[in-house]
């Protein structure tokens, strides 16, 4: 079986969203299948990793299309979302005002729009060429328009289409979808022979939104590949070592934890943070005047994981009201045999993972709750009883287990397509 994987991001681009397509490629190649990747140019992404390139199996063909950076308008897009949240009754006015602000602040706004349209056309054109001798087209988010590229390519070449949702699209709580996007997603779901999501919760929501397509929807967890991680060991420090790796957006924040640390004023706790956090979080951390609290900024993934491998507990920040997410940082912690501390309330999908690897739920939404938790964890540290996942039970999230399910889904797509072609031909004969 030969698969065309359409993914905007792919190594050496380095963030958690690039890991899923990389695991797909590694798993499919290991299972004896061929993969061709269509992705954006590396220049589109601000953070690159040579280490991730080494993990791409030899012989995998990666075709790239020049794409303008989607981070160009990130500031004004955040402003637009903020404006919409304050003016829900005037959505069109808010949108129009935000577009006007874009044009005033960025003189090349119309040009960039044309560049993006041209990039999409190039994606589709190159995808059609590559799909000619492929058996199935697998399109994975984000951005969401990449699903449309996959749909166009599959339709033009009459290949089965599989959609992979790393996040929900039009039902995403932190994304405001337009009407035409909702219509496009419905059309893509009708076209697709299968749709993959990253959690049972996401699958349930998709089945509610598309009840007539619910048989196509499958849960394929993100999981991890042990080869992507450094060796891990318990913290050798006498301090309780906390670590956070990630980017805070959509209401995620470390502020309750930082306030809890300021209340405790304990030199027996250390905190290391790698990633993008808000100015407020950085200011709060600086007020602690504690050498054990360190913000390392945005660094390569392998550098952050090396730091994470030496901690006692990995931190997870929650988006308020998000009942679906299963962030990659959870799987990172499990792969490195670390316990998890949630800043916010874990959703049911996350609790399922914790139960499956026999990890206790350690979570606090307020500084007061986190103070009580940290005091107990300090005692656990002294007793050598910091919680860690059951390594044998964590094996179900390893790439090999997830890949077999993916292969079965893709094979089912091909069998279904062949059956449909056969039925269509028999219908044509009977009509004749």
Give the residue, 334 or 66, on which the prediction is more confident.
Answer: 334
Per-residue pLDDT, 87: 43
User: For residue range 241-290, what is the model confidence (pLDDT) as tens digits?
Assistant: 999 988 777 678 888 998 999 888 888 899 999 988 887 888 888 777 67
Band of the pLDDT at 431, cuts 50, 70, 90? very low
**Mean pLDDT over residues 284-312, rounded?**
84
Which residues neighbour 317 within 8 Å (Cβ) at sequence distance 6 or greater? 244, 246, 248, 252, 253, 254, 342, 343, 344
If asked whether residues 170 and 233 sit together in one domain, one would say: no
Find how far residue 126's CA is from the centre of its chain.
Answer: 25
Q: Return the number of other C-beta atoms located less than 10 Å from residue 400's C-beta.
A: 14
Per-residue three-class SS string for the chain: CEEEEEECCCCCECCHHHHHHHHHHHHHHHCCCEEEEEEECHHHCCCECHHHHCCCCCCCEEEEECCCCCCCCHHHHHHHHHHHHHCHHHHHHHHHHHHHHHHHHCCCHHHHHHHHHHHHHHHHHHHHHHHCCCCEEEEECCCCHHHHHHHHHHHHHCCCEEEEECCCCCCCCCCCCCHHHHHHHHHHHHHCCEEEECCHHHHHHHHHHCHHHHHHEEECCCCECHHHCCCCCCCCCCCEEEEEECCCCCCCCCHHHHHHHHHHCCCCEEEEEECCCCHHHHHHHHHCCCCCEEEEECCCHHHHHHHHCCCCEEEEECCCCCCCCCCHHHHHHHHCCCEEEEECCCCHHHHHHHHHCCCCCCEECCHHHHHHHHHHHHHHHHHCCCCCCCHHHHHHHEHHHHHHHHHHHHHHHHHHHHHHHHHHHHHHHHHC
What CATH number corresponds to the domain at position 347? Answer: 3.40.50.2000
Q: Are 227 and 400 in contact (CB under 8 A)?
A: no
Per-residue pLDDT, 402: 76
Per-residue pLDDT, 370: 94
Look at residue 412 and tell me if it is in a domain: no
Give the residue, 378 or 12, on which the prediction is more confident.
Answer: 378
Long-range contacts of 218-221 (CB under 8 A, 24+ apart): 218/194, 218/405, 218/409, 220/164, 220/196, 220/402, 220/405, 220/406, 220/409, 221/326, 221/397, 221/402
The lowest-confidence range among 95-99, 176-180, 226-230 is 95-99
Give the residue, 352 or 412, on which the prediction is more confident.
Answer: 352
Average pLDDT of the chain, as a whole number? 80
If asked whether residues 254 and 302 sit together in one domain, one would say: yes
Which residues neighbour 353 within 8 Å (Cβ) at sequence distance 6 or greater? 326, 330, 334, 397
Look at residue 234 and tell me if it is in a domain: yes
Look at residue 84 and tell me if it is in a domain: no
Q: Is the pLDDT of residue 136 over 50?
A: yes
Find how far residue 35's CA is from the centre of its chain.
Answer: 21
Per-residue pLDDT, 116: 67
Band of the pLDDT at 73, cuts 50, 70, 90? very low
Per-residue pLDDT, 376: 92
If asked whether residues 141 and 200 sit together in one domain, one would say: yes
Q: Is the pLDDT of residue 233 over 50?
A: yes
State the Cα–Cα distance between residues 387 and 380, nearest whole angstrom.
8
Q: Is the pLDDT of residue 411 over 50?
A: yes
Band of the pLDDT at 416, cuts 50, 70, 90? low
Band of the pLDDT at 161, cuts 50, 70, 90? very high
Look at residue 368 and tell me if it is in a domain: yes
Q: Comparing C-alpha atoms, which of 67, 71, 95 is closest to residue 81?
A: 95
Show the domain range for 6.
2-74+107-223
If asked whether residues 154 and 243 sit together in one domain, one would say: no
Band of the pLDDT at 177, cuts 50, 70, 90? low
Look at residue 82 and tell me if it is in a domain: no
If asked whether residues 298 and 164 sit together in one domain, one would say: no
Look at residue 46 and tell me if it is in a domain: yes
Per-residue pLDDT, 68: 64
Band of the pLDDT at 159, cuts 50, 70, 90? very high
Of 70-74, 263-267, 289-293, 353-357, which has the strongest mean pLDDT? 353-357
If asked whether residues 192 and 336 sit together in one domain, one would say: no
User: For residue range 15-47, what is the model confidence (pLDDT) as tens digits?
Assistant: 777 888 998 999 899 888 999 999 988 766 667
Q: Comparing C-alpha atoms, which of 73, 72, 98, 74 is closest to residue 85?
A: 98
User: For residue range 332-355, what is the model confidence (pLDDT) as tens digits?
Assistant: 999 999 999 999 889 888 999 999
Look at residue 406 and tell me if it is in a domain: no
**Mean pLDDT over residues 53-78, rounded?**
71
If asked whether residues 374 and 304 sit together in one domain, one would say: yes
Q: How much of the chain, in percent, has pLDDT values that exceed 90?
A: 31
Q: Is the pLDDT of residue 152 over 70?
A: yes
Structure tokens at 348: 């049911």
Q: Is the pLDDT of residue 223 over 50?
A: yes
If asked whether residues 184 and 258 sit together in one domain, one would say: no
Domain boundary among 192, 223, 254: 223
If asked whether residues 173 and 261 sit together in one domain, one would say: no
Structure tokens at 263: 């209340």
If asked whether residues 199 and 286 sit together in one domain, one would say: no
Domain boundary among 223, 241, 269: 223
Considering Cα of 380, then 319, then 275, then 285, what sign does the dihedral take?
Answer: negative
State the Cα–Cα distance between residues 310 and 164, nearest whole angstrom.
33
Cβ neighbourhood burial of 117 (10 Å; 0-12, 13-18, 19+): exposed
How many domains in the chain? Answer: 2
Per-residue pLDDT, 44: 60
Per-residue pLDDT, 74: 45
Look at residue 102 and tell me if it is in a domain: no
Q: Is the pLDDT of residue 108 over 50?
A: no
Angle, alpha carbons 53-55-58 (nearest 5°):
90
Give the residue, 135 or 181, on which the prediction is more confident.
Answer: 135
Domain boundary among 198, 223, 248: 223
Per-residue pLDDT, 112: 42
Band of the pLDDT at 391, cuts 50, 70, 90? confident
Structure tokens at 342: 């949630």
If asked whether residues 64 and 155 sit together in one domain, one would say: yes
The lowest-confidence range among 144-158, 221-235, 253-267 is 221-235
If asked whether residues 308 and 341 sit together in one domain, one would say: yes
């Amino acid at each position: 079986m030969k698969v065309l994987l359409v993914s905007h991001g792919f190594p050496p681009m380095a963030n958690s969203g690039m890991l899923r397509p990389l695991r797909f490629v590694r798993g499919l190649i290991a299972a004896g299948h061929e993969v061709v990747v269509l992705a954006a140019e590396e220049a589109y992404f601000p953070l690159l990793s040579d280490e991730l390139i080494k993990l791409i199996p030899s012989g995998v063909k990666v075709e790239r299309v020049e794409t303008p950076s989607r981070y160009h308008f990130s500031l004004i897009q955040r402003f637009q979302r903020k404006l919409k949240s304050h003016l829900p009754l005037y959505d069109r006015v808010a949108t129009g005002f935000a577009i006007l602000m874009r044009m005033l602040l960025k003189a090349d706004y119309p040009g960039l729009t044309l560049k993006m349209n041209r990039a999409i056309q190039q994606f589709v054109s190159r995808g059609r060429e590559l799909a000619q001798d492929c058996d199935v087209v697998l399109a994975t988010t984000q951005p969401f328009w990449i699903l449309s590229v996959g749909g166009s390519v599959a339709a033009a070449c009459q290949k089965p289409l599989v959609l992979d949702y790393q996040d929900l699209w039009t039902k995403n709580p932190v994304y405001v979808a337009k009407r035409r996007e909702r219509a496009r997603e419905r059309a893509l779901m009708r076209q697709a022979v299968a749709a993959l999501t990253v959690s049972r919760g996401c699958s349930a929501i998709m089945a509610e939104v598309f009840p007539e397509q619910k048989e196509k929807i499958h849960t394929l967890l993100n999981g991890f590949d042990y080869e992507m991680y450094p060796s891990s060991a318990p913290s050798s420090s006498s301090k309780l070592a906390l670590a956070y790796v990630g980017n805070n957006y959509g209401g995620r924040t470390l502020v309750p934890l930082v306030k809890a640390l300021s209340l405790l004023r304990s030199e027996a706790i250390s905190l290391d943070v790698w990633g993008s956090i808000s100015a407020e979080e950085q200011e709060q951390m600086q007020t602690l005047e504690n050498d054990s609290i360190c913000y390392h900024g945005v660094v390569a993934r392998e550098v952050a994981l090396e730091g994470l491998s030496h901690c006692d507990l990995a931190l997870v920040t929650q988006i308020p009201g998000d009942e679906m997410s299963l962030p990659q940082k959870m799987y990172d912690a499990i792969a490195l045999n670390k316990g998890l501390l949630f800043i916010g309330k874990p959703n049911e999908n996350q609790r399922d993972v914790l139960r499956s690897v026999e990890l206790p739920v350690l979570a606090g939404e307020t500084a007061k709750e986190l103070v009580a938790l940290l005091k107990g964890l300090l005692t656990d540290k002294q007793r050598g009883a910091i919680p860690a996942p059951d390594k044998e039970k964590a094996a179900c999230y390893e790439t090999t287990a997830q890949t077999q399910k993916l292969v079965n889904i893709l094979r089912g797509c091909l069998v279904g397509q062949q059956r449909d072609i056969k039925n269509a031909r028999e219908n044509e004969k009977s009509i004749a």
